Structure 1
């Protein structure tokens, strides 16, 4: 039975300047919740960016300072790929590796562009790669089926992402699906028709796409034959590489055994005997003693310098006071207070009106300075004496250390030599094994590249068959717009009835897939809370339809802050219909039921939700996977996506 394609995010890795940040996801409902402005929305924006989106919302302080590469592990219809993109350079190409993040060295990456005209990307456009691996045809989408002069664009994965990513700025927004731009909105309507296999009069376009895919299939077959012949000419049998991964893993195991043996030998080498251990301890003790002596010598040198400076200061003061005493005899201190003396510099008169210091005071200061100088000189002599003692002690320790080291070498030479030989032998074996491992990994990369060509042929073949079925559907008139809208309306009505809103009537979808509530178009609804619930119900109803039918859209959904415009905690005096926390609980309950139903039907799907709160019904930790819990207070939770900023 044919089903809709699926896309499952496995892991998001941010390679930073200092460390690596990551978030892991699972099939089903995934939640990221916590404080505002902690990087929750950045997780969704990074997922979108790795799949070809923009980085406008990622260029904030912490990310610019710490983030460098964004890597996304994603499961596209059962095959794992790792998308790698520079965070700060939206124009740089995207590298796509087959396999998980840690397996990148085993594969040659595809280098794809973020726009169809990117000349720096040798392997095409990222959108084409994703669509091909999802089995979705790259058809032409007209901006309007009613205007003959309307232009057509090739379907882009970005067109589909609008139907899978309900951004924070679009939840409850009157600009949902670019409604304010009639041309883009009409194109989004046509994209949705293609998603639901409503082709109207697009038979010619599908036949054209079928012809293009058949031509590409033929080109791939020709390339495979060419590569196979080239490998044959250079005597390389790809079949011999089929078990390269197992061989590489076996070689890595052997390397681990050698590393362990080498570690043991080096430990034996350090202390090969009891005698050597005793001598080694003595050597360590002597080195510690020499270090302590050196430390004290540096201390003494610093102390000596400080005391010498102080001694110089005291001697200077002593000489100054002596000079002052002599000057007093020249300048008679008995002169009247209002007497004048000539300035020694400019010869102008200076009035002497201050009281003179007594001779006894000056004598007292001179004796004090002389005593201090004598004390410091004693200290300096003691320091020099201690320095001589320590230098002598250091020399004796140095001689003992030389003797101990010589004794260590003599006593251990007999046991060390065999160890050195063994260590050298293992090092040689490791070097040879490294060459073998590198060869095995190169062979594995060649094999994986060849297998990728075969996988592309299988994808093309499946897509061609799908296009043929789509053409048959049109010719047989099996799927029409009215039937799809009718079933979507039933799903939409069910969600609105269970939403907790009052006065539920006049609920339906029109032929442009626009929701109506109380007979009012979503875009004309004045209540932000009602628009929030309606926008989420439209996206969830679409996911539910995808899980029931084979459509051209992955069963994947991201919602950023579904609780905005809804009161999550009712105030005592609040009677407004959109302030009931039941509305918030209902959003999650209905999503959980859709996911549970998909699980019963063995359908794969993934929903990732970011919000500031956690509904009461999920506080038991069941029915969802907690990707991240952020708290600015830290503690047992991370402070944010960049958790060391």
Structure 2
């Protein structure tokens, strides 16, 4: 089950900072009009990749005056991230930190464009979005249009002008309604893929798995040959070397401190120069070793490609030699042989296309290997030059030593020699640790690929059952939807009059869609029942992929709430809606903007924002008394 949870929103400017901690699954936001209630949800949406114009600072004067950047700490499938987005400059860029907000300054962020962030979110949530074909403006041609996380947000964040109105999900917009249908199918795992597309995707994933397995085999062989399979032993050996090197450096420092002179300083500088040259030599040799390892991995991959090439060439040759009438298969019913009616030319052409692509890969690998061979030659040339330089310094040192007599010089040279040997050994261990890290990273990617591969194969095997499943899923959604409408005190729940339509996936009541009704109370209940049915089924179906986050603005706009108010139309329904949302928040995170909620006994957060008169201290989302930059002084 996918999960997206908000844990912290931080507003920050040069002289202002406020952190709003969200550590509960039910959040009630109350307060005066124009105090920042809706803005609170808007800023969450803004950090999750809404368009830059979604925050208009010309009508948010307080935000513009006090804030320059907004941070959002989130959990995606229990993994913590911090997103940050500027409010005034570079608004189309978002920084993603792999840490909590408190630790974000210790990490370098991924700097992402808006589209890249949207792709990142769906990838982390493991949601398989796709493109749909839409007519180009002013043309009869169809062009692919991508479904993105921004489209999914319409099922997460219901704005004030949509909730309890027939603007729900912006379905009145024909450019959006078609995408809503696809998002609904994606959320409820109702996409029936083309079998050929699945097979292509399986082959792509399998090729990548083979590549990573081949690479890991090469890395494991390399570690085996050096008896370095257990990384813990490498860490222990490295720590011991660090300790020895540190002790030797302290010993050398003590000797030099006790024997300072102009001549020994000169000798020491010569020794330092030689040590620096040795470090340079070790760096070059390490880089050369990494390139040699890379060449070896490419040789393994090239061998696999060549084997595959031989098999494909043999297949093409055989197909060209065998007549089409000789292609026969056995009938499973009568055991007689029947001719295969496939086009031989097309089969050959397909294999030849694959063969051509494979040859291109082989050529690319050869070119890359040749480039790396040239790098080896460059490293050898550079090593030769550095060794020559070292000899010059050694000669100078030898000449110098003959002209002076300092008893401790030989001891220092001995210590330096040991330090060089130990540092060389440590660098070798670091290279082996790097290989272990690369192996682990490859294994993570391999596990992810194999998981996707398993799901693809499962989908391929279950393809014929998908249409049956689609019927079952819609029946279950409809049942949940009708039961919720009944809970909200609506009685016309016959399945022919109260349902989620199988064509447009919109909720209907009394035979009319959510787009047609005008009663605010009815519309609100239809929408809550519709979204609730989706979230309930999401808990029951592993492949369903709503992230379990719901933000509602403003719940009481179109429904009566006060029993003492003669204008109130339905306080009982209002109470039932809250009873349901409280229960729904047990497995989902729900934000509700509402000034008149009933008493809530379960755990929740209540945020209250106030509008103030001109000249008074701000008490809304921007609250001067909660300015952490002043409080920390």
| Fold in common (TM above 0.5) | yes
SS at match of 1:588: helix
- Counterparts of 1:154 and 1:556, CA distance in 2: 22
**1:552 matched to 2:542:** no
Q: Confirm or deny: 8 A CA contact 2:84 2:96 kept in the other structure.
A: yes
Q: Confirm or deny: 8 A CA contact 1:515 1:534 kept in the other structure.
A: yes
Q: Confirm or deny: 8 A CA contact 1:585 1:616 kept in the other structure.
A: yes
Aligned to 1:118: none
C-alpha distance 153-633 of structure 1, shift in aligned 2 (>3 A): closer
Using the TM superposition, give the Cα deviation of residue 88 of structure 1 relative to its aligned residue in structure 2, in angstroms: 2.4
Residues matched between the structures, number: 413
Structure 1, residues 449-479: CA drift from partner, whole Å, max 9, x if none? 9977765554444334333333333244375
Aligned to 2:507: 515
C-alpha distance 564-484 of structure 1, shift in aligned 2 (>3 A): same
**1:495 matched to 2:499:** no
Structure of higher CA gyration radius? 1
**1:78 matched to 2:57:** no
- Counterparts of 2:585 and 2:506, CA distance in 1: 24
C-alpha distance 478-516 of structure 1, shift in aligned 2 (>3 A): closer
Q: Which runs of 5+ in 2 are unaligned?
A: 222-228, 240-434, 628-633
Using the TM superposition, give the Cα deviation of residue 489 of structure 1 relative to its aligned residue in structure 2, in angstroms: 0.8
- Counterparts of 1:66 and 1:227, CA distance in 2: 54
- Counterparts of 1:46 and 1:449, CA distance in 2: 38
Aligned to 1:589: 579
SS at match of 1:477: helix
Aligned to 1:569: 562
- Counterparts of 1:110 and 1:242, CA distance in 2: 31
- Counterparts of 2:91 and 2:220, CA distance in 1: 35
Quick one: which of 21, 25, 29 aligns to 2:22? Answer: 25
- Counterparts of 2:582 and 2:234, CA distance in 1: 42
- Counterparts of 1:89 and 1:242, CA distance in 2: 47
C-alpha distance 11-215 of structure 1, shift in aligned 2 (>3 A): farther
Q: Confirm or deny: 8 A CA contact 1:142 1:190 kept in the other structure.
A: no
Quick one: which of 604, 612, 626 aligns to 2:605? Answer: 626
- Counterparts of 1:241 and 1:176, CA distance in 2: 60
Using the TM superposition, give the Cα deviation of residue 63 of structure 1 relative to its aligned residue in structure 2, in angstroms: 1.0
Q: Confirm or deny: 8 A CA contact 1:24 1:627 kept in the other structure.
A: no
- Counterparts of 1:228 and 1:590, CA distance in 2: 55
Aligned to 2:123: 132
Structure 1, residues 329-362: CA drift from partner, whole Å, max 9, x if none? xxxxxxxxxxxxxxxxxxxxxxxxxxxxxxxxxx
Q: Confirm or deny: 8 A CA contact 2:3 2:76 kept in the other structure.
A: yes
Q: Confirm or deny: 8 A CA contact 1:69 1:84 kept in the other structure.
A: yes
SS at match of 1:22: strand
Aligned to 1:473: 462
Q: Confirm or deny: 8 A CA contact 1:569 1:581 kept in the other structure.
A: yes
**1:609 matched to 2:592:** yes
Structure 1, residues 91-119: CA drift from partner, whole Å, max 9, x if none? 4321111121122244332111102xxxx
- Counterparts of 1:160 and 1:608, CA distance in 2: 17
**1:52 matched to 2:34:** no
- Counterparts of 1:14 and 1:242, CA distance in 2: 45
Q: Which runs of 5+ in 1 are unaligned?
A: 116-124, 230-236, 248-445, 599-604
- Counterparts of 2:31 and 2:436, CA distance in 1: 45
Query: CA RMSD of the aligned region, Å?
Result: 4.0
Aligned to 1:542: 534
Matches within 5 A, 1:176-575: 176-210=168-202, 455=444, 458-477=447-466, 479-501=468-490, 506-511=497-502, 512-550=504-542, 551-570=544-563, 573-574=566-567
Aligned to 1:643: 623
Structure 1, residues 588-644: CA drift from partner, whole Å, max 9, x if none? 111222334x4xxxxxx211222222x2231xxx3242152223479xx98211112
- Counterparts of 2:107 and 2:440, CA distance in 1: 11
C-alpha distance 214-630 of structure 1, shift in aligned 2 (>3 A): farther
C-alpha distance 171-623 of structure 1, shift in aligned 2 (>3 A): same
- Counterparts of 2:11 and 2:438, CA distance in 1: 26
Using the TM superposition, give the Cα deviation of residue 196 of structure 1 relative to its aligned residue in structure 2, in angstroms: 1.5
**1:35 matched to 2:32:** yes
**TM-score, normalising length: structure 2:** 0.57
Using the TM superposition, give the Cα deviation of residue 448 of structure 1 relative to its aligned residue in structure 2, in angstroms: 10
C-alpha distance 507-84 of structure 1, shift in aligned 2 (>3 A): same
Q: Confirm or deny: 8 A CA contact 2:85 2:91 kept in the other structure.
A: no
SS at match of 2:11: strand
